[in-house]
Structure 1
């Protein structure tokens, strides 16, 4: 496989045969040149909705592969609902294997959540399952498979729920923007290669002559952890094409506007493995909604949208010109690209890929700790040991740095001094020279619904072993028959997620929203997915108000399937009924 050529990857031109072939596979909202979501645009809505899961050829960049789709399109059709209605989805599976749909971010009875083996058995081949639930919220959400690795093959689509009351966000036009990643290699094969060689897709390894050379001490340290400082993403542009609304960079999806309009962009990251840095050069964005919940408007020039997060932004283009919408992968090995323009056929300059970021001691949870003269970590000063085979043991011999973490082969390291990183913009975005969104910028528009202080704190460690490609919570993979995280009904709990790995993990809790602890007491942002940076921690408060068994997992698909998954069990308080 050849390395990525930055100069040719994003070369654009008129939409060719491949692009034209794509149009028939696109739902109306995702077709290039769309004027925005309107009542005249076909979409799935109403109280009774039929969805068919099937296999469909998918073409991008002049190549055709096999996709798993809903109603034959990639992405799946936009589902538009209204807060306060009831909805029934009759979902028919035409595949030869089981399938499912999870309604990501929706609050519903646990047996409608769509996670096989947790909330229901799954949908057998050539069978129909009916999901039915009341719609009790508004905002931007999405839906996808929770069976196998089907989501990576195209099994995802957007949901927009209009509020019952007047929307506090004013806008003249809206576009749904679905970011995703696509590979012609089957995800099972990708997973197999990661298990054989975790850096298989990393074409950006450091060398002694790559920028500032690494010292011998630094090489020993990184070699001891079986990682390189350029290991930002497990799967990269070496195999992925990054899509916007199912269109590759060369196919240039275009959303139209009239100069002076307030345009709402409902952005969803439906990628399997790709965290995106989003910006529109020359056009500021005002964030108004995160994970479906309204926030006080905050102006930014760039934001990092992790896998499974959603952000709504308002842009107000005043000039009669085109703007490029950029979704650059976190490791900068590729980008998704689209255009906002007054007329079809217009294009703007596509910025080049920026220099890829590298991991630092801060990402190891070692910020401010002692270094030796040649830049290597002073392990003696830190109380660490290098074992005979070169692997680093970060205070793991007695587990003193991480109570409750099982010191298994799946735990490669423990962050000695993790920091609260809710004020960080994301890897590689600390010095870009413009405004970048952080979690501390987010303030809930409405007061938090449960003002009670937490009655207890639960600390959960995100653990892994990159060399073995094992991922887990507290050192235990889900396949090891782990105990679920148990909560009493209506219990108020503070959860602290500590990332002991050097990868970024988007953690998703089904069936609940939680409030990120970011200093805005009473108006902490409510989310269902939170990005936990390496070597850092995030705290959130949540009320266990939905009885049942709920999935809790990293939304990087390969990490979830490699073990970073568990169940949150909410049961009635003693003496209460179900």
Structure 2
């Protein structure tokens, strides 16, 4: 709004009373909305297309083959990369014998593209193809996953990377290792590496759900955090066990599930041979776990956190940082010191 004069229905002009607080708020809100709209509309960009095929598969993380769900044959699913201003066109081909969906976690997009079945989007039936189309109006590290039944727990998740318009390529680091720069267009690093953290249970997700609903000690016993009745009887502590059971609350919550493996990019242990001593590395970390928190640290020294929950932040140097489940990605700098 460039001038503060407004016309009445009669055609006469009315001077806006600038001393009215409500009028100020309305003007400020209108100007802000106009600026946001202008910013979104002028973003340059290309149309980036991905074809994602959802299939049943078998995995072997523990020595036993188990059913899982893969996208393009991969767990985690392929990382989808866009630049701010691009138009995303993502075709999801459902090759399963059940309905499926994809939800774009933390992404600003039209409601109909959000991917939550029966709420914002119809479920995708077996054999069908669905197009998710939206303009990328943000940057940062996010993730996508199925929002149907318990398919996420079976492996249907992946990283979603939105680059800023002025940093579509890694920039060669020229800073001293102790320096800190604000994130965004000024960030300097040698290489990027995307890390998707998750967990795996050989037990079927539906069986896990049933056990959680019963509120018993099954998973706590498997993890060794409580004693079973059989062990209590063997150790002659049955009375103590019984007394303690009567005193406490229900045993289980969703964070108490027993997992056979914790995974980093689909492996219990992973290597990154492309890095060398002296590199400054930007890690883009996604916690795709269903109920696990992960402490992140670096044996070679401290790390610098430059982004959290998908957003840039003032860099903070720490020894460890916590990655929560159900949130967006975290960006971290590692310094590979010589020797």
Per the alignment, residue 176 of structure 2 pairs with none
Residues in 2 aligned to 1:241 and 1:289: alpha-carbon distance in whole angstroms:
27
Per the alignment, residue 250 of structure 2 pairs with 226
Per the TM alignment, residue 199 of structure 1 is displaced from its structure 2 partner at its CA by 2.7
Within a 5 Å distance, the mapping from 1:381-400 to structure 2 comes to none
> Is the 1:181–1:272 contact (alpha carbons within 8 Å) kept by the matching residues of 2?
yes
Change over 3 Å in CA distance of 1:255–1:274 after alignment to 2: farther
Within a 5 Å distance, the mapping from 1:241-252 to structure 2 comes to 241-249=261-269, 252=270
Q: 4+ residue stretches of structure 1 with deviation over 6 A?
A: none
Question: 2:82 matched to 1:60?
Answer: no
Per the alignment, residue 312 of structure 1 pairs with 331
3-state SS, counterpart of residue 219 of structure 2? coil
Question: 2:225 matched to 1:201?
Answer: no
Per the alignment, residue 499 of structure 1 pairs with none
3-state SS, counterpart of residue 207 of structure 2? helix
Within a 5 Å distance, the mapping from 1:534-549 to structure 2 comes to none
Per the alignment, residue 290 of structure 1 pairs with 308
Per the TM alignment, residue 146 of structure 1 is displaced from its structure 2 partner at its CA by 0.1
Per the alignment, residue 266 of structure 1 pairs with 284
Residues in 2 aligned to 1:51 and 1:243: alpha-carbon distance in whole angstroms:
22
Unaligned runs of 5+ in 2: 1-45, 168-184, 228-239
TM-score by length of structure 2 reads 0.72
Residues in 2 aligned to 1:111 and 1:62: alpha-carbon distance in whole angstroms:
42
Residues in 2 aligned to 1:162 and 1:143: alpha-carbon distance in whole angstroms:
16
> Is the 2:105–2:142 contact (alpha carbons within 8 Å) kept by the matching residues of 1?
yes
TM-score by length of structure 1 reads 0.43
Per the TM alignment, residue 206 of structure 1 is displaced from its structure 2 partner at its CA by 4.7
Unaligned runs of 5+ in 1: 1-44, 208-215, 321-578
Per the alignment, residue 101 of structure 1 pairs with 102
Change over 3 Å in CA distance of 1:221–1:130 after alignment to 2: same
Per the alignment, residue 125 of structure 1 pairs with 126
Per the alignment, residue 318 of structure 2 pairs with 300
Per the TM alignment, residue 253 of structure 1 is displaced from its structure 2 partner at its CA by 3.8
Residues in 2 aligned to 1:111 and 1:70: alpha-carbon distance in whole angstroms:
22
> What value does the CA root-mean-square deviation take over the aligned residues?
2.9
Question: 2:191 matched to 1:184?
Answer: no
Question: 2:235 matched to 1:235?
Answer: no
Residues in 2 aligned to 1:206 and 1:196: alpha-carbon distance in whole angstroms:
17
> Is the 1:46–1:81 contact (alpha carbons within 8 Å) kept by the matching residues of 2?
no
Larger radius of gyration: 2
> Is the 2:196–2:286 contact (alpha carbons within 8 Å) kept by the matching residues of 1?
yes
Deviations 1:6-54 (A, max 9, x none): xxxxxxxxxxxxxxxxxxxxxxxxxxxxxxxxxxxxxxx9522111111
Residues in 1 aligned to 2:244 and 2:53: alpha-carbon distance in whole angstroms:
53
Residues in 1 aligned to 2:194 and 2:299: alpha-carbon distance in whole angstroms:
19
Per the alignment, residue 174 of structure 2 pairs with none
Q: Which moved more, 1:124-133 or 1:56-65?
A: 56-65
Higher relative contact order (CA 8 A, sep 6+): 2
3-state SS, counterpart of residue 78 of structure 1? strand
3-state SS, counterpart of residue 201 of structure 1? helix
Change over 3 Å in CA distance of 1:103–1:232 after alignment to 2: closer
Deviations 1:188-246 (A, max 9, x none): 01111222344311133356xxxxxxxx8xx7698242349xx7932024xx3100000
Residues in 2 aligned to 1:234 and 1:198: alpha-carbon distance in whole angstroms:
11
Residues in 1 aligned to 2:187 and 2:220: alpha-carbon distance in whole angstroms:
41
Residues in 2 aligned to 1:185 and 1:220: alpha-carbon distance in whole angstroms:
29
Per the alignment, residue 297 of structure 2 pairs with 279
Residues in 2 aligned to 1:124 and 1:226: alpha-carbon distance in whole angstroms:
38
Within a 5 Å distance, the mapping from 1:64-83 to structure 2 comes to 64-83=65-84
Change over 3 Å in CA distance of 1:232–1:280 after alignment to 2: farther
> Is the 2:216–2:250 contact (alpha carbons within 8 Å) kept by the matching residues of 1?
no
> Is the 1:110–1:119 contact (alpha carbons within 8 Å) kept by the matching residues of 2?
yes
Q: Which protein has the bigger helix share?
A: 2
Per the alignment, residue 232 of structure 2 pairs with none
